[in-house]
Amino acid sequence: MVARMNTSKNISKALNYNEQKVAKGKAEILDAKNFLKATGDMNFYDKLRHFEKYTLQVLIFLCQ
């Protein structure tokens, strides 16, 4: 089986969607753990880098 994954593109879109909802007041951050900065101190790219690193670790684990 061959799986094609473009995680950075999908993560970026999902994160951007959620960030826009939070900015409009239609959603709120309930919890954030394992980030190096406080939630309010992170920008979009800090969060994106975190999620990209996490998904890469998961993919490596799953491929073992």
Residue 59 lies in a domain: yes
Q: Does 3 reside within a domain?
A: no
| HSE (side-chain half, CA atoms, 13 Å) at 27 | 12
Would you say residue 48 lies in a domain?
yes
Domain total of the chain: 1
Measured in whole angstroms, the distance separating CA 53 from the mean position of its chain's CA atoms is: 9
Task: Please tell me the distance from the alpha carbon of residue 40 to that of residue 1, in angstroms, as a whole number.
Answer: 42
* Segment (H or E) for 17: helix 7-23
Q: Residue 6: its pLDDT value, please?
A: 55
Residue range of the domain that includes 56:
9-23+34-63
Is the alpha carbon torsion for 27, 33, 39, 44 positive or negative? negative
pLDDT value at residue 59? 62
Q: Decide: 27 and 18 in contact? Cβ < 8 Å.
A: yes
Q: What is the pTM of this model?
A: 0.63
The whole-number mean pLDDT for each consecutive block of 10 residues of the chain, a chain of 64 residues, reads 53 87 88 76 87 73 69
pLDDT for res 7: 54
Is 55 domain-assigned?
Answer: yes
